[in-house]
């Protein structure tokens, strides 16, 4: 297989990264993607940095050795904040694209100069996020809200079909942030700082109102991935595009999420990765 036909690896701690995969498929319809859902170890957003780095390194090694990926997309804000620099240093030959909350475009787009940011605790308390936040202090005021449990509630709603907990948590966290709207002093732009939250966007839009902009990261990530592949001359120009789904957790949950949000057929298979196949390298301490 030529490098052009090699797959692009995409991973997240759960199903939230499917929102990034959705954007990647739209931008790069001829590409082959391998999506790894590390739900056995989710949620990353409530783990420490050392654990997230460990899992990110293990997954990258697995995707390279088992699937021969030509590029990697870290479809998780927490993993990007914690691990992207380490992964780029350890894999200098591999194009790696991360995601981060869209504070910069939000600051530029806001007319009231008040921006709301929702994310996992791991993301919004990270050093990288804090540095980004500080760098924009003269451009906008940010209301930053950690949303404990929201990513997990979105994931669980796939299996149960019940969005009530997701709706309740969205209402709780949005109400804690202040007034939304387009009048002076109101938050007129909301940044989704977790890839899971895209799948609650309809609920969030009802809470903040139709005049408030909601920004996610899928499309910018897809554009950046396309640019890096063009630079490396590894864009697949023949197709057909396809997706392979891999999980360390429950295959039925990932399959149901792919059906619900990506339109996958009922019979599409999901590969389950045994824990030993995607374990940390021997020189790292075992996952807690």
Catalytic one of 147, 170, 194, 278: 194
Catalytic one of 76, 147, 170, 278: 76
Respond yes or no: is residue 194 known to be catalytic. yes
Q: How many CA atoms lie within 13 A of 129 on its CB side?
A: 30
Burial per residue of 168-180, b for 16 or more beta-carbon CB atoms within 10 angstroms, e otherwise: ebbeebbeebeeb
Max CA separation in the chain (angstroms)? 57
Three-state SS for 7? coil
Which DSSP string corresponds to 114-152? Answer: EEEEEE-HHHHTSHHHHHHHHHTTTT-EEEEEE-TTHHH
Q: Which residues contact 245 (CB under 8 A, 6 or more apart)?
A: 35, 37, 254, 255, 258, 264, 268, 269, 270, 271
| Cβ–Cβ < 8 Å for 218, 139 | no
Q: How far apart are CA 7 and CA 80, in angstroms?
A: 20
| Cβ–Cβ < 8 Å for 79, 110 | no
Q: How far apart are CA 108 and CA 207, in angstroms?
A: 23
Respond yes or no: is residue 170 known to be catalytic. no
The CA R_g of the chain, rounded to the nearest whole Å, is 18
Q: Running DSSP on this structure, what letter comes out for residue 31? A: -
Nearest CA to 207 out of 171, 243, 176 is that of 171
Q: Please give the positions annotated as active site.
A: 76, 194
């Amino acid at each position: 297989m030529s490098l052009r036909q090699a797959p692009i690896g995409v991973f997240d701690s759960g199903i939230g990264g499917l929102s990034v995969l959705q954007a990647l498929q739209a931008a790069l319809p001829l590409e082959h993607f391998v999506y790894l859902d590390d739900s056995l170890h989710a949620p990353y957003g409530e783990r420490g940095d050392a654990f997230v780095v460990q899992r990110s390194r293990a997954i990258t090694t697995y995707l390279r050795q088992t699937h021969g990926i030509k590029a990697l997309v870290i479809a998780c804000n927490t993993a990007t904040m914690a691990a992207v620099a380490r992964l780029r240093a350890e894999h200098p030959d591999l194009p790696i694209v991360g995601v981060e909350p869209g504070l910069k475009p939000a600051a530029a787009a806001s007319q009231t100069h008040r921006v709301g940011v929702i994310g996992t605790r791991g993301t919004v308390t990270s050093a990288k996020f804090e540095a980004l936040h500080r760098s924009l202090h003269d451009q906008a005021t940010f209301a930053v809200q950690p949303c404990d449990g929201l990513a997990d509630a979105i994931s669980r709603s796939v299996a149960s079909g019940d969005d009530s907990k997701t709706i309740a948590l969205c209402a709780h966290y949005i109400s804690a942030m202040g007034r939304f709207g387009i009048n002076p002093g109101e938050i007129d732009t909301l940044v989704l700082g977790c890839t899971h939250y895209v799948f609650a966007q309809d609920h969030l839009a009802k809470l903040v109102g139709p005049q408030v902009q909601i920004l996610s990261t899928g499309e910018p990530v897809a554009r950046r991935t396309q640019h890096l592949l063009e630079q490396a001359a590894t864009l697949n120009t023949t197709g057909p595009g396809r997706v392979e789904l891999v999980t360390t957790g429950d295959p039925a949950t990932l399959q149901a999420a792919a059906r619900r949000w990506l339109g996958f057929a009922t019979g599409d298979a999901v590969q389950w990765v045994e824990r030993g196949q995607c374990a940390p390298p021997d020189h790292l301490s075992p996952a807690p």
